[in-house]
Structure formats: C-alpha cells, structure tokens
C-alpha cells in the first residue's frame, strides 16, 4: 500500500496548494479519489462509474491518509453525473513538523 500512501500524499499536497480546487486521481480498478481543501476542511470523495465504493475502501483511504485524522468522519453516498459517490469532510488539524 506504499503506492496508495504516495498517491494520497500527492493529492493532498496539490489540494493544499490549490485551495477550493478539486484534485482527482483514478486508481486501478476504477476508483476515483478526489480531494478538496476549503473552509478549513478536507473534502474527500470516492466514486466509481458502476457501483458505490465500499466501506472498506473508505477506511483504507483514511488509513493511508497522509495527515492526521482524529476520528473517522461520517460519509454520505449519492449518485452524481452517473457516478456512484461516497463523500466526507473533516476539519484540518494542526500538523506537527518532524
């Protein structure tokens, strides 16, 4: 899962440098991961063209999220523009630089 950690790190860094712009990467097997930083929050969206992302995919993305997530955020599912989506948001916490 080192590759997933790298992909998420890149997405988050791009989103942090481009506030209010959605940055998206489609992973193998068709899962699209979108990240937006706005209003002091991270906005995460997972989507597929044919079925909703699974709960385990959501948990895996959070497990490899490159920033601190203090508690697992609630998500909602919906269909938008023909894609099955799962979305959540949570406050950005202060980062400790090592």
**pLDDT number for residue 98:** 37
Domain ranges of the chain: 2-91
Q: What residues pair up with 24 in beta bridges, in sequence order?
A: 34
pTM here is: 0.90
Which residues does 82 contact at the CB level (< 8 Å), separation at least 6?
49
pLDDT digits (tens, 9 = 90+) for 5-49: 999 999 999 999 999 999 999 998 899 999 999 999 999 999 999
* Cβ neighbours around 24 below 10 Å, total: 14
Candidates 1.20.1300, 3.50.70, 3.40.1720, 3.40.50; correct CATH number of 2-91? Answer: 3.40.1720
Residues 6 or more apart whose CB falls under 8 angstroms from that of 2 comprise none
């Amino acid at each position: 899962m080192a590759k997933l950690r790298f992909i998420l790190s890149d997405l988050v860094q791009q989103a942090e440098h481009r506030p209010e712009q959605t940055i998206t990467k489609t992973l193998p097997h068709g899962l699209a991961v979108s990240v937006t930083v706005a209003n002091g929050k991270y906005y995460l969206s997972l989507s597929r063209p044919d079925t909703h992302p699974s709960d385990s995919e959501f948990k895996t993305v959070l497990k490899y999220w490159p920033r601190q997530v203090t508690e697992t955020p609630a998500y909602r599912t919906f269909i938008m523009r023909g894609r099955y989506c799962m979305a959540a948001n949570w406050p950005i916490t202060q980062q400790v630089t090592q």
